[in-house]
Amino acid sequence: MVQQASKFFEDFGFIGMFIHGFIDAIIFPIPAFFTQVSLSMIDPSSAIWLATLGYIACLLGTPFGYLIGRALGEPVLQKFIKQKWIDKATDSFKKNGEAAILIGAFTPIPFKVFTILSGCFKYSLWKLIGYAAIGRAVKYYVVGLAFYFYGQASEEFVTSYLSYIMGGIAIILLGIFYIKRRIQRVKQINIEKQKNYVG
C-alpha cells in the first residue's frame, strides 16, 4: 500500500509531492516521507525543492486537520468516553500540547494525529502551526539535504537510521520539556511559600 501510494504521487512529480504533503497533515494515512524519498532518489539535485514543497504543503494542510478535529473530534469522543475524561484530556493537552506537537513532528507517528487532536482538544491553532513549522522543517530538510549533498548514497541513512535519530531528538526534547516543567513547578511552590510567609 505504501509503495502504491508513493508510486501514484511520484508519477505527478513536484505536484504529487505538494499534494501528498498537504493531505498528510489532514487525514491521509501514509506519510509524505515516502514520496519525498522516492522523488529525491530519482533526482537528488531537486531534493531541497521537494523538501520545501512538502514543508509548505504540510503547513497549509495543518489548519484543515485542526478544523476536522474541532468539528468532529469531541462529538466522536463523547460516544466512547465520559465527559469528565474528555475535560481532563483537554486540560492536559492545553498544558502539554507544545511538547506533544513538537515531539510528534519528529516521530514516525502520522502528523495528522496531532493536527486533529489539537482541534479536538481546542489547542491554540497558532501555537500548533508554530510548533509544526519547527518540527516539520527539521524532518523535511534533513531528508532533502541528505539527498542533495550525498545523492542516492544517502538512501540507507534516510530509510534505516533517520527514524532512530529523530526518535533521539524527540527524547531529548521530552527531557527538556520535563525539566522546564519541574523548574516552573518549583518556582510556583516558592512563590506560594513567600505569599504564605508574608501573610
The answer to whether 35 touches 9, Cβ cutoff 8 Å, is: yes
Determine which helix (DSSP H) or strand (DSSP E) holds 50, and give its type and residue range. Answer: helix 47-68
Q: How far, in Å, CA of 190 to CA of 192, rounded?
A: 5
Give tens-digit pLDDT for 166-188. 777 767 777 776 787 778 777 77
Q: Is the pLDDT of residue 14 over 70?
A: yes
Q: What is the pLDDT of residues 112-152, one digit of tens each?
A: 888 888 888 888 899 889 888 988 888 899 899 999 999 98
Does the structure show a pLDDT above 70 at 87? no
Alpha carbon distance 11, 180 (integer Å):
46
Q: Phi and psi dihedrals of 151, rounded to 5? A: 65, -150
Coil/strand/helix, residue 108: coil
Which residues lie below 8 Å from residue 130, measured CB to CB, with a gap of 6+? Answer: none
Global pTM exceeds 0.85: no
